[in-house]
Amino acid sequence: MIRLTGKEIGEQVSAIRRQAPASGSILLDKSAVIELLRRCAHHELTALELSGIANELEAFDEIDYEPGAEGLIATVLFEIASPEINIKITPQRCLELIELLRKE
């Protein structure tokens, strides 16, 4: 099982996609999503970069989400992957999503 950490998650996903692991061998948990949102809130990632990473994660069928938080993670990823149809990605919105992930 590979656990995505959030630190270099974009690079991790790209490397993993090249290796094409079996389904269920990659776990994305809330802490990784929180780390991505934190980096965007603190201007370490742009909104465009965050959206691109979220799109990669959503399209990657081999990734499983943290048990018990699957729906929440999927909802947050969808929002940040599709800012044109959802809420604009801002530092404030990233902080709100972090709070939401921490509460659940």
> What pLDDT score does 84 carry?
86
pLDDT tens digit string along 27-42? Answer: 888 998 999 999 999 9
Q: Note the pTM of the prediction, 2 decimals.
A: 0.81
The three-state secondary structure class of 63 is strand
Contacts of 79 (CB under 8 A, 6+ apart): 86, 87, 97
Residue 24 lies in domain: 2-103
Residue ranges of the chain with pLDDT lower than 50?
1
Domain count, the chain: 1
Whether 76 and 97 have beta carbons less than 8 Å apart is answered as: yes
> What pLDDT score does 26 carry?
79
> What pLDDT score does 13 carry?
65
